[in-house]
Structure 1
Amino acid sequence: MINQPSAEKLSTKADSLYTIIIMAAKRARQLNGNENYLLEKYRSHKIVSRSLEEIEKDKINYRKHE
């Protein structure tokens, strides 16, 4: 369950909530490997929540392959 940021706020960032979850999971793996952080300050200390915050702030986006 997504608490912060809310699923409603994130739903506008991609074509589906499933896509957002995949984006967050991939970014969380990068953050776990000590990838550079994209925000100066995070509300959460959890890696997945941090990746969702980056998506919320438009620091992460995706391109649909066709």
Structure 2
Amino acid sequence: MDLVLSVPDMGCQHCVMKITNALNEIGVKSFDVKLDEKKVYIQSPSCDVELILRKLEEIDYPAEIVME
């Protein structure tokens, strides 16, 4: 499953690191955090979307699924 998330509150490299660490913490293996687009691209056949959204909300980076 390919998932694209919009993270409008992401604004610097510190934000990218927090998001990266949070996704690693919950076991997301293949993803790309794009600061310039304020998006996270997740390539995972079995990712738990709700878990990802909850984790990002927990660290103060609420995200929305983008339909692309």
The question of a shared fold, defined as TM-score above 0.5 by the shorter chain, is answered with no
> Which of these two proteins has the greater Rg computed from alpha carbons?
1
Greater strand fraction, Structure 1 or Structure 2: 2
Q: Which protein, 1 or 2, shows the higher relative CO under an 8 Å CA cutoff with sep ≥ 6?
A: 2
Q: TM-score, normalised by structure 2?
A: 0.34
